[in-house]
Amino acid sequence: MGAGPGSGIRSGRGDDPGAGAAAPVRRLCVIGVGLIGGSFARALRAAGACAEIVGCGRDAAHLERARALGVIDRAEVDPARAVVDADVVMLAAPVGASGALLQAVAPVLRDDALISDAGSVKGSVLAAARAALGGRFPAFVPGHPIAGTERSGVEASSVDLFRGRCTVLTPTAETDARALARVRGLWEACGARVVEMDAAHHDRVFAAVSHLPHLLAYTLVDWIAARPDAAELFDFAGGGFRDFTRIASSDPVMWRDICTANAEALGAQLAEFAAALDAVLRAVRAGDAAALEALFARAKRARDRKVEAER
Amino acid sequence: MGAGPGSGIRSGRGDDPGAGAAAPVRRLCVIGVGLIGGSFARALRAAGACAEIVGCGRDAAHLERARALGVIDRAEVDPARAVVDADVVMLAAPVGASGALLQAVAPVLRDDALISDAGSVKGSVLAAARAALGGRFPAFVPGHPIAGTERSGVEASSVDLFRGRCTVLTPTAETDARALARVRGLWEACGARVVEMDAAHHDRVFAAVSHLPHLLAYTLVDWIAARPDAAELFDFAGGGFRDFTRIASSDPVMWRDICTANAEALGAQLAEFAAALDAVLRAVRAGDAAALEALFARAKRARDRKVEAER
């Protein structure tokens, strides 16, 4: 992976990070200690990049498991208490909660705190941060680690989830260069490669390659599950179906939030894809073997190339 | 897996198999020595169920590799020569070739030969067999092992591809009970569980759970590959995309044949799915978070149950 040729990408290191970019975090507050937040905490601790970790979430029992696992040092269900004295705050809750969480913590953040997030949609989070943080908006660094799996919860978190993977940061012109450099450094400490990109560009790219496939997988499984012969259909679904639908086992709340937060880009991509699918339906009905073979051969070449490039 | 509740399924052993059902094969002819044909040959040989194996295909170099690998004993590019003196003939070529192959071999088959196939579509193969075999049609046993992968070729074949998997047989009222029992015995010797089903029912079931997902995966990859920003999009496609599109690396000719041979059932399923997808598009555009969450939660439950049932 790496910076592609897209117009919105900045692959450089940005402006001079200034002093302190690589300083360890004294107190990290992770809001949402699930797969992503838990893995971020584990990786930073393992890298020696973080002295103390406060975990925050709505479910006290879940937080207690995170503490028992050593992922966090201290648990707080109240975000406004959790961020007290934290120098870095990482939002890793479903993106739909970002606005309310930022509003809750904004009045109590340390003056020099930086705030980042790990949501899969960036435009809506930037808008929420701008509204909630006011003059502190430059200290917000929006991010998206490309490292999810269909599993969720702190039990699924791991120290090396981000190793060798890409994290996209989508700063604005207002984003503080030191805050940006520090967040970049934290992701690099987790083993990730960091790419910068415009937020709107990010949301179009991930609508196509991530949000749309999730919608297709969810829709296919639900469409089958709703049929009277669902039990038999699932019985005869083989390994191809299992892999195709793996992402339909993803967290419904997380994906509800992604699909509503990125509704505009996702709706546009889905409509375009539906048109492509309609052309395929016409080819199937017309028995157009040549068109189908050409499509399948192009797709196989493209996918085989992608898989080859990842080796 | 096993016989589901569907109306078209017969899960019993059928009629009395009569003598000879379990007799080893003296000479097996496999037409199409790829993943499926090669694995069938390997598994029967390993089970001691087969004395001699003749492989047939259009590519002499490919057949020679199959011979060098010990998958077949003898290679023939001419189907009419390959089937001479064979007591069992297994068609494992792309389903579009079935008609021409059956016509080529019909005049030279041994009087007591039985013919079977491993195609993913059964209605079209039955029609081709009825036309090509005439009075010998009862000796034709249509089958479909549910065991493909996106890999193809004899190099991908293995002795245990069918172990613990299901093979569907779709006999007609005319199918000879001894032939049916013998083919069942061969698949069981390969380690497969055998289920019987009506051919039209089979084609509807697999249109929904196999052919449609393949079409979706192929269409998504081709739709992305055709865009000016394809390189960047593939760059940022993660593990979810890779699994979702694994089946888009399947053999284009095999899938061209499946989609044209099963055009009617596949077209109907695809049109139904497109309607479901359109409802999802409307929910995305309306920002209907509750509808999306409910859909995702239903799909996750259904898929998690299926995966759990397979353990």
**Domains within chain A, CATH numbers bracketed:** 9-197 (3.40.50.720), 202-310 (1.10.3660.10)
- Residue A3: the pLDDT is 38
SS3 label, residue B108? helix
- Residue A9: the pLDDT is 52
Which pLDDT band holds residue A7 (cuts at 50, 70, 90)?
very low
Nearest CA of chain A to the CA of B153: how many Å? 15
Which pLDDT band holds residue A103 (cuts at 50, 70, 90)?
very high
Which pLDDT band holds residue B151 (cuts at 50, 70, 90)?
confident
Task: Pick the closest to residue B226 from A218, A208, A182, A71 (CA basis).
Answer: A208
Whole-structure pTM over 0.90, yes or no?
no
Q: Which tokens hold the place of B156?
A: 């991908």
pLDDT at A121 over 50: yes
CB contact under 8 A, B209 and A224: yes
pLDDT at B3 over 80: no
Average pLDDT for residues A133-145, to the nearest whole number? 97
In a 13 Å sphere around the CA of B153, the CA atoms on its Cβ side amount to 10
Quote helix, strand, coil % in chain A, to nearest 5: 55, 15, 30
Chain A positions in Cβ-Cβ contact with residue B120 (cut-off 8 Å): none
Average pLDDT for residues B170-198, to the nearest whole number? 97
pLDDT at B24 over 90: no
SS3 label, residue B75? strand
- Residue B22: the pLDDT is 57
- Residue B240: the pLDDT is 87
Cα torsion B186, B187, B188, B189 to 10°: value is 50
CB contact under 8 A, A306 and B212: no
CB contact under 8 A, B273 and A223: yes
Task: Pick the closest to residue A182 from A115, A238, A251 (CA basis).
Answer: A115
Nearest CA of chain B to the CA of A240: how many Å? 6
B191 in Cβ contact with B163 (< 8 Å): yes
Interacting residues of A254 by C-beta distance below 8 A, sequence separation 6+:
A94, A95, A120, A152
SS3 label, residue A122? coil
Average pLDDT for residues A262-283, to the nearest whole number? 98
Chain A positions in Cβ-Cβ contact with residue B276 (cut-off 8 Å): 219, 222-223
Interacting residues of A262 by C-beta distance below 8 A, sequence separation 6+:
A120, A121, A123, A124, A203, A206, A207, A211
Average pLDDT for residues B288-292, to the nearest whole number? 98
φ/ψ of residue A168, rounded to 5: -95, 130
Chain B residue with minimum CA distance to A300: B249
CB contact under 8 A, A247 and B224: no
- Residue B1: the pLDDT is 37
Q: Which tokens hold the place of B205?
A: 């079931």
A141 in Cβ contact with A115 (< 8 Å): yes
pLDDT over 90, % of chain A: 88
Which pLDDT band holds residue B5 (cuts at 50, 70, 90)?
very low
What span, in angstroms and rounded, lies between the C-alpha atoms of A158 and A76?
Answer: 21
Cα torsion B169, B170, B176, B178 to 10°: value is 10
Nearest CA of chain A to the CA of B172: how many Å? 20
Question: Which of the two residues, A105 and A6, has the higher pLDDT score?
Answer: A105
What span, in angstroms and rounded, lies between the C-alpha atoms of A245 and A216?
Answer: 9
φ/ψ of residue A203, rounded to 5: -70, -30
Q: Which tokens hold the place of A255?
A: 């994906």
pLDDT at A100 over 50: yes
Which pLDDT band holds residue B238 (cuts at 50, 70, 90)?
confident
Chain A positions in Cβ-Cβ contact with residue B234 (cut-off 8 Å): 209, 302, 305-306, 309
pLDDT at B14 over 50: no
Q: What is the DSSP letter of A298?
A: H
What span, in angstroms and rounded, lies between the C-alpha atoms of B253 and A294?
Answer: 9
**Which of B163, B305, B306 would you mutate first to test chain A, the one with the most A CBs within 10 A?**
B306
- Residue B219: the pLDDT is 98
CA angle (B83, B152, B265) in 5-degree steps: 85
CB contact under 8 A, B295 and A222: yes
pLDDT at A195 over 90: yes
CB contact under 8 A, B302 and A234: yes
Instruction: Classify the complex by whether its ipTM is higher than 0.90, answering yes or no.
Output: no
Interacting residues of B232 by C-beta distance below 8 A, sequence separation 6+:
A4, A5, A6, A9, A205
Chain A positions in Cβ-Cβ contact with residue B152 (cut-off 8 Å): none
Cα torsion B247, B252, B253, B255 to 10°: value is 40
pLDDT at A198 over 90: yes
Segments in chain B forming alpha helices (H) = 35-46, 60-68, 79-82, 98-105, 123-133, 177-189, 199-206, 212-225, 230-236, 239-244, 252-261, 263-286, 289-310
